[in-house]
Amino acid sequence: MILGKTVRRWWVAVALLLAAGAAAASGTNPVILVLGDSLSAEYGLPRDTGWVKLLADRLTAGGAGATQYSVVNASISGETTSGGRARLPALLERHRPAIVIIELGGNDGLRGLPLAAMRANLRAMIDASKAAGARVLLVGVRIPPNYGREYAEGFHNVFHSLARETKVPLVPFLLDGFADSPEYFQPDRIHPNGRAQSRMLENVWPHLQPLLAGRARG
């Protein structure tokens, strides 16, 4: 009888270990999905050196407290808000993220696309992410006044008005603090270099932290 209890305890212990291993193998950590353009896709940088990878490293090192997050970078260089909107449903279905970081719009602005369309696409992505049960962080971008001051200001205001309207946190400007400093950019003066990536993460981190703790829900 005693031996039987010992054997049962042993099997219970083995079952728990196997379950824990299966959970780890299946990647059951809550997911942070980053949907962005070249600013998040490591354009022109060595692999695994962009701000999204730095974010993943910080989370692995315990930057999110007790919760361990997995980061999925679904960013594509050249992506527009319409492209992101089209890709998002499949990404939500596949990864079932706890948090979605939307960093899109820069390519819309550089191409002079209608602001109303950009706004509608961003709103649709926010709504879809929330409907899937994810918390959302919107990342703001500024553009040079190539298409006139009115367009540039309207572009910037889209992010702020959407964040207020949908009650999601906003990173006011991903390149805040160094946008006018050439030493932080690649020769094209559009894409940040390796030196800038940690600063981009520091611009995102204070707005992401409450979401990691589950305190800021849209």
Q: Which residues are catalytic?
A: 38, 188, 191
What distance in Å separates the CA atoms of residue 114 and residue 82, rounded to the nearest whole number? 12
What distance in Å separates the CA atoms of residue 151 and residue 158, rounded to the nearest whole number? 11
* Nearest partner of 106 among 139, 73, 74, judged by Cα: 139
What distance in Å separates the CA atoms of residue 163 and residue 142, rounded to the nearest whole number? 15
**What is the three-class DSSP state of 31?**
strand
User: Regarding beta strands 135-139 and 99-103, do their DSSP bridges make them parallel or antiparallel, or are they unpaired?
Assistant: parallel
Q: Taking a C-beta distance cutoff of 8 angstroms, is the pair 83, 35 a contact?
A: no
Work out the number of other CB atoms within 10 angstroms of the CB of residue 58: 16
